[in-house]
Amino acid sequence: MKIKKTLYFFLVSCLLTVFLSSTLLLMTLLNSRYMMKLFQKNNIYEIIAQSTLEEMHNYIYQSGFNEEVLTSLFTKEEIEKSFKEMTKSIYKNVPFVLDTKVLERNLEKNIKIILEKNNIMEYEEEALNNFKKEIIDTYKNNIDLKSFLGNVPEYIVIVKNVIITIVMISGIGFFFIYLYLKNDRKKAISISLFFSGCVFFSFYFFIKASINIESIQFFNECISKLIVVLLNNLLKQFLGIAILCIFCGLLFCFEKKREVL
Amino acid sequence: MKTLEAIVKRFAIAFFFFSLTTTLVYLGCNKKISLYIRTFNNFTYVPQEKEKKPVAINLETKEITHYPYYGEKFGIIKIPAIDIQVNLYHGDSLEILKKGAGHYSGSYFPSEGGTILIAAHNRSEYFKYLPKLKLDDEIIIDTTYGVFTYKIIDGKVMKIKELEKIRFTQEKETLVLYTCYPMNALGFTNERYVVYASLTEVSYEN
């Protein structure tokens, strides 16, 4: 009887942990609105704009142009708009094409001004086109991250559906077992909350100890920064939930004083 | 008191469940978890503490004992005929080429008896005046481990695709310098001006 009760406690603890962690993932990593708010909060768009411009600067040295060719090529707001559309398209798995028309127009304008200013009448069209292509490719590489993800958007939709199913099953399972444990409901909940708190705490500290998150370098500075911000935020959420679980578990340990008649 | 007892009891049960779960996960998925952690850590870069040790050479075997790290300056290129001195770095990324001449990391180092490939931008302070060099003009590479003097044996314009076919052999120490061509062209051309030089004199510093 005691073993059966212990098994039910264990089961309800696991179900609650699965329910909480799946809900957390659904509300954070798998939620495009949350991600966009996170990027806004961490000034990701500014970082992308700066990083893109710095990379473009590297191409000036061998091009014969000076820094004027990069004047007002794009704004932070344009990058923000494109990035938001790209993020939505990743989560909804719909096609996305980065609009570079404004950038191309501004670049052409700047090149024309420099040629006129320096009275340059003759130039190699192919060389100029190569330069323009490098600048536009740099812009695309820093913003159109979807092109690097391959089939990931497809998997995001599948994973989201799977996690919704897991949330429902674990929630329903938890509820039914909670109903079954008539006299030990408070005990079951407090044990489950303590268990979840321990799991989330250990997950947080394990990841922090195993992976040097701040030093992640993946492809370019923009993607690296995104991954670092995502992981740090996710871990913070796990830590927050762990603390909440322990606190709520403590609350459920308080028994009502029964009046002795 | 009773509440405290309840808290301790329930926490102990929860911790027992947690230990059990952790043990099961460890026994079942330890290898997979380690693999994922290792994969993640492959994408982390921790800047190594840069030792102040300069690039050094074993004078008996003439082998380099401490190679420069990527991005480290390890010498100066001096070309008296066109009066330039350019810092020489290991690596040829755009970041490095902004600072001076970049040594292609897939080629040999001076003293190794092989093909050495070095690039720089066609700016006046770097390799703009390479086409003015003539046969037998000297190129001196003053490194932290020795001074190497080369004499020009050839200079020509090549397409990028031809340059990519250069073979890095260890038959004879040959220095290959290149830069974008034409020198005053705007944009990115498909040609490079390439200078070949062979080793004539070596002086090792102690």
Rounded CA-CA distance B188/A60 in Å is 10
Residues B183 and B108 in one domain: yes
pLDDT(B101) > 50: yes
Fill in the DSSP letter of residue B132.
G
Question: Which burial class, exposed, middle or buried, applies to B102 when counting CB atoms under 10 A from its CB (0-12, 13-18, 19+)?
Answer: buried
B42 and B60 within one domain: no
Residue with tokens 């090549």: B158
Per-residue model confidence (pLDDT) at position B200 = 94
> Which residue range(s) make up the domain with B174?
56-203
Same domain, residue pair B121 and B173? yes
pLDDT value at A129 more than 60: yes
User: What confidence category does residue A170 fall into, taking pLDDT thresholds of 50, 70 and 90?
Assistant: very high
Chain B contact for A184, CB < 8 A? no
Provide the residue type at B13 as one letter: I
Residues 109-138 of chain A with CB under 8 A from chain B are 115, 120, 123-124, 126-132, 134
8 Å CB contact between B120 and B86:
yes
For the stretch B20-58, pLDDT in tens is 999 999 999 888 888 888 887 777 766 665 555 677 777
- B13 in contact with A at a CB cutoff of 8 Å? yes
**With an 8 Å Cβ cutoff, is B43 touching chain A?**
yes
> Is the CB of residue B29 less than 8 Å away from at least one CB of chain A?
no
Q: What is the mean pLDDT of residues B63-73?
A: 85
Compute the distance between CA of residue A79 and CA of residue A77 in angstroms, rounded to an integer.
Answer: 5
Average pLDDT for A99-108: 91
Give domain status of residue B183, yes or no: yes
Q: How many CB atoms lie within 10 A of CB A8?
A: 16
Mean pLDDT within B125-135: 92
Q: What is the pLDDT of residue A249?
A: 92
CATH code for position B124: 2.40.260.10
From the candidates A17, A62, A66, which should be mutated to test the interface with B, based on the most B CB atoms within 10 A? A62
State the amino acid at position B52 in one-letter form.
K
Residues 6+ apart with CB under 8 A from A211: A231, B37, B40, B41, B44
Task: Inspect the interface and report whether the beta carbons of B6 and A217 lie closer than 8 Å.
Answer: no
Of the residues A128, A253, A255, the best mutation for testing chain B's interface (the one with the most B CB atoms within 10 Å of its CB) is A253
Q: Please indicate if any CB of chain B lies within 8 Å of the CB of A215.
A: yes
Burial class from Cβ neighbours inside 10 Å (0-12, 13-18, 19+) for residue A151 reads exposed
**Whether B42 and B60 share a structural domain:** no
pLDDT reported for residue A259: 47
Write out the two tokens for A218: 């993946």
CB contact under 8 A, B17 and A10: yes
Locate the domains of chain A by residue range: 2-35+158-251, 44-149
Looking at the structure, tell me whether residues B35 and B116 fall in a common domain.
no
DSSP strand E in A32-74: where? none
* CB spacing of A62 vs B43 below 8 angstroms: no
ipTM for the predicted complex comes to 0.77
Give domain status of residue B51, yes or no: no
Establish if B1 touches chain A: CB-CB under 8 angstroms: no
Give the mean pLDDT of A11-40.
Answer: 92
Do B63 and B98 belong to one domain? Answer: yes
The single residue listed with the structure tokens 């938890």 is A174
Distance CA B24, CA A185 (A): 26
In chain A, what residues touch B70 (CB-CB under 8 Å)?
Answer: none
Q: Which two tokens stand for residue A206?
A: 């394990």
Q: Which residue in the set B11, B123, B187 is minimally distant from A130, CB to CB?
A: B187
Is the domain of B128 the same as that of B34?
Answer: no
Mean pLDDT of A111-134: 85
Q: Does B138 lie in the same domain as B66?
A: yes
Over residues A199-219, the pLDDT tens digits come to 999 999 999 998 888 888 777
- Confidence band, pLDDT 50/70/90 cuts, at residue A186: confident
B189: contact with A, CB 8 A cutoff = yes
Residue B182 has a pLDDT of 84
Question: Which class for A125: exposed (0-12), middle (13-18), buried (19 or more C-beta within 10 A)?
Answer: exposed
Q: How confident is the model at residue A185 (pLDDT cuts 50, 70, 90)?
A: confident
B36 touching chain A per CB within 8 A: no
Percentage of chain A lying above the pLDDT 70 cut: 97
Q: Are B103 and B40 members of one domain?
A: no
Of B25, B26, B1, B20, which Cα lies nearest the Cα of A195?
A: B20
Say which of A58, A194, A212 has its CB closest to residue B41.
A212
pLDDT for res B47 = 61
Find, in chain A, the residue whose alpha carbon is nearest to that of B35: A210
Mean pLDDT, rounded, for A93-99: 87
What was the pLDDT predicted at A10?
A: 92
Torsion sign across C-alpha atoms B50, B54, B55, B58: negative
- The answer to whether the CB atoms of A217 and B43 lie below 8 A apart is yes
State how many domains chain B has: 2
Closest residue, chain B, to A134 (C-alpha): B188
The confidence score (pLDDT) of residue B40 equals: 77
